[in-house]
Amino acid sequence: MCLLLAFFVILSSVAGISNIKNYYNVGQKQPKEITQLPGLDGKPISKQFSGYVTVDKRHDRSLFYWVVHSERDVNNDPVVLWLTGGPGCSSMDAFIYEHGPFKFSFKGGDDGADIVLEENPYSWSKVATMIYVDSPAGTGLSYSRKPQDYSTDNERTVEDLYSFLVELFTMMPELSYQGFYIAGESYGGVYVPLLASKILNMSRSQRGMPINLRGYMTGNGVTDDVIESAGQLEFAYGMGLIDPLTFHRVQEDCKGNYWDVDSDSACALSLKKAYDIFYWVNPYDTLLDCYLSAQKDEDKMTHSAHKDVVNTLSWKAQLGHTVPCANRRVALKWLSLPEVRQAIHAVPVQELSWQPCSDILNYTINTPVSMINTHKELLHAGLSALVYSGDHDFIIPFTATRTWVYGMGLHELSPYSAWKVDDQVAGFTVSFTSGLTFATIKGAGHMAPQTNPKETLHLISRFLDEFR
């Protein structure tokens, strides 16, 4: 979600968070079980735990987590850590809208007041024990009492995530015995390989906790800025979002370089004209309508994002640091209920509000980003990898992911072919001898598990079971 946000510290929010009492998590040695949830009739199907892990005791920098035990075989099923992207977007969004154990809805329809939780038949906890974490601090329900911690980068985010895992596995040692996988989407395409690399390096140096890391998964993940900016143009043309004349004009003016171009150049002007054509299309899923909650959001989009298309990735998430076109009313309301905060052992609402994507982070990203060499190193180390793409996402289009996957020069194990669910084509896939599998998900967008939950569960189940 919320790709490459230009976050700025909002002092009023920081002041409130810096005053959070530190008794919520400091000294916590045992995981806190969730026994009931507002809106849920009865107890959760499998055991669930939530709370905070302090990754910096001096600053009380603490990450909120939610563990959902596997509903199939908790003692033998793999453990999957989920990382939503942003940077700064909450994994609770994926928990509620994508692959968590519950389906959330307003009772009586979208205009209802009460929220109802029902079993999600396509939860990833059907086949794995899931760990959801809000990272970095300042994201979702995670926080620090030192405002300077909200200026951060990839290096510290990964360091904190590693510290989080060590502390969590110390509290819940049973999680460290099973096969461990890291998964994420969007900017999680950066978090996931960097964290996997950190775990491997700590293991090699014999300085870290033994973690049974077996593989990783990325969905529509940021991997290479240069390739992805070119892939967006290819996608827009192939999907009929721009006409041949515009496509060829951009190619001519940009000469193959669509990343970080001069704002006064002919390339920048051509890119803007191309984007103007499909301006109101939902960039996260070209098949879905664009939800705008208020006119002020439309104004922000017009006066902020629309003016800056020099970098083809810069306009994507400017709607007040939320996801353009996405309706997040259920999550915003449910996670703001005092009784929910109490049930999930989280900071009270009056001390910390929840937003899908943070508006207090100042996240430094060294661009252009490229994770390709890191993927090569992880595969060479023997990890298995699933790289999947919803094929109607403009943000990180399958055209770009396909380019860098095939560009690594890997040897095919099984050729590119259709994969099916219930005898219907659900996408296309190819496997390589290195342990990497690339798959498209037909009709899915940036958050594939949200729009295509059945197909995505089938895909990740097949991957996890193969290496179980």
Question: Residue 414's domain is classified under what CATH number?
Answer: 3.40.50.1820
Q: How far is it, in rounded angstroms, from Cα 334 to Cα 39?
A: 9
What is the mean predicted confidence (pLDDT) over 237-255? 97
323 and 403 in a single domain? The answer is no
Is 26 inside any structural domain?
no
Is 134 inside any structural domain?
yes
What is the mean predicted confidence (pLDDT) over 380-394? 98
Q: CA–CA distance from 353 to each of 92, 120, 134, 374 (Å)?
A: 13, 26, 13, 35
420 and 302 in a single domain? The answer is no
Q: Which of 321, 394, 390 is nearest to 4 (CA)?
A: 321
| Residue 133 contacts residue 65 (beta carbons within 8 Å) | yes
Active site residue 186: yes
434 and 446 in a single domain? The answer is yes
Is 41 inside any structural domain?
yes
Is 5 inside any structural domain?
no
Is 405 inside any structural domain?
yes
Tell me: pLDDT of 65 over 70: yes
Q: So what's the pLDDT on residue 111?
A: 59
215 and 265 in a single domain? The answer is no
322 and 184 in a single domain? The answer is no
The one catalytic residue in 93, 134, 391, 393 is: 393
Q: How far is it, in rounded angstroms, from Cα 369 to Cα 189?
A: 10
Mean pLDDT of the chain: 88
284 and 249 in a single domain? The answer is yes
Q: How far is it, in rounded angstroms, from Cα 428 to Cα 417?
A: 5
The one catalytic residue in 13, 46, 186, 434 is: 186
Q: So what's the pLDDT on residue 298?
A: 42
Q: How far is it, in rounded angstroms, from Cα 97 to Cα 105?
A: 10
- 109 is in which domain, residue-wise? 32-224+366-466
The one catalytic residue in 99, 392, 446, 458 is: 446
234 and 373 in a single domain? The answer is no
205 and 94 in a single domain? The answer is yes
pLDDT digits (tens, 9 = 90+) for 302-358: 333 433 433 444 433 332 334 567 778 899 999 999 999 999 999 999 999 999 999
Q: How many domains are contained in the chain?
A: 2
Active site residue 446: yes
Q: How far is it, in rounded angstroms, from Cα 278 to Cα 242?
A: 7
Is 313 inside any structural domain?
yes
Place of tokens 């909002």: 10
Q: How far is it, in rounded angstroms, from Cα 288 to Cα 290?
A: 6
Q: So what's the pLDDT on residue 305?
A: 40
| Residue 321 contacts residue 359 (beta carbons within 8 Å) | yes
124 and 188 in a single domain? The answer is yes
Q: C-alpha angle with apex 445: 186 to 365, nearest 5 degrees?
A: 20
Active site residue 225: no
120 and 144 in a single domain? The answer is yes
Residue where a domain stops, chosen among 279, 309, 330: 330
Is 7 inside any structural domain?
no
241 and 303 in a single domain? The answer is yes
Q: How far is it, in rounded angstroms, from Cα 386 to Cα 391?
A: 15
Is 349 inside any structural domain?
no
51 and 122 in a single domain? The answer is yes
SS3 content of the chain, % helix, strand, coil (to 5): 35, 20, 45
For 336, the 3-state DSSP assignment is coil
The CB density around residue 39, as the number of other CB atoms within 10 Å, is 18
pLDDT digits (tens, 9 = 90+) for 84-143: 998 999 999 999 999 999 999 988 666 557 899 999 999 999 999 999 999 999 999 999
Q: CA dihedral defined by 303, 306, 311, 313, rounded to 10 degrees?
A: 110
